[in-house]
C-alpha cells in the first residue's frame, strides 16, 4: 500500500469510494486532471474510469470539479455508497 499523505486514509482494493455515472460523464477529463493521486483515467474518446482505487484518499476533489455531477465520493465508512456501483467503481445506468 502506498502512503496516503495527509489527505486522508487510503482504502483497500475491495471498496469503491468513487462512483462514476457513465450516463452523465461527457469525458471532459477534468476529474482526471485534478485528482492528486492519479486514481482516474479516461481512454481515448471514452468516459472517466476508476483505475487505481487503492490510491484514492476520498479527498472529494473529483466530485467537486465534475461539471456534470457524474462523480460521487463515498465518505469513509459509508459501505452502502461504496457498494452501490458496478464494474469496479463505475455506474452504467442499469
Ligand atoms: S469531470 Fe465529470 S464529466 Fe468530466 S470526465 Fe470526469 S466524470 Fe466525466
Ligand atoms: S476522491 Fe477523487 S480526486 Fe480524490 S483521490 Fe479519490 S479519485 Fe482522486
| Confidence at residue 54, expressed as pLDDT on a 0 to 100 scale | 95
Of 21, 62, 66, 69, which is best to mutate to test ligand 2, by the most ligand atoms within 8 angstroms of its C-beta?
Answer: 62
Ligand 1: residue whose CA is nearest its atom 4: 28
Residue 75 banded pLDDT, cuts 50, 70, 90: confident
Q: Where are the domains of the chain?
A: 1-74
Residue 72 banded pLDDT, cuts 50, 70, 90: very high
C-alpha of 70 from chain center: 10
Residue 84 banded pLDDT, cuts 50, 70, 90: low
Any atom of ligand 2 within 6 Å of the Cβ of 53:
no
Q: CA nearest 38: which of 70, 21, 61?
A: 61
| Confidence at residue 16, expressed as pLDDT on a 0 to 100 scale | 84
CATH 3.30.70.20 fits 1-74, yes or no: yes
The ligand minimizing its distance to the Cα of 30 is 1
18 neighbors 72 (Cβ within 8 angstroms): yes
At 41, phi and psi to the nearest 5? -140, 160
Task: Answer with the residue of higher pLDDT: 69 or 93.
Answer: 69
| Confidence at residue 94, expressed as pLDDT on a 0 to 100 scale | 45
3-state secondary structure 23-54: CCCCCCCHHHHHCCCCCEECCCCCCCEECCHH
pLDDT for 20-57, tens place per residue? 999 999 999 999 999 999 999 999 999 999 999 999 99
* Ligand 1 midpoint to CA 29 (Å): 6
Any atom of ligand 2 within 6 Å of the Cβ of 16:
no
| pLDDT score of 89 more than 60 | no
Amino acid at each position: 500500500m502506498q502512503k496516503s499523505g495527509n489527505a486522508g486514509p487510503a482504502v483497500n482494493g475491495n471498496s469503491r469510494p468513487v462512483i462514476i455515472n457513465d450516463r452523465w460523464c461527457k469525458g471532459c477529463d477534468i476529474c482526471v486532471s485534478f485528482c492528486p493521486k492519479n486514481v482516474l483515467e479516461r481512454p481515448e474518446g471514452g468516459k472517466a474510469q476508476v483505475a487505481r482505487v487503492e490510491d484514492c484518499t476520498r479527498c472529494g476533489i473529483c466530485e467537486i470539479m465534475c461539471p456534470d455531477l457524474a462523480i460521487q465520493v463515498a465518505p469513509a465508512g459509508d459501505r452502502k455508497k461504496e457498494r452501490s456501483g458496478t464494474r469496479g467503481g463505475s455506474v452504467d445506468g442499469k
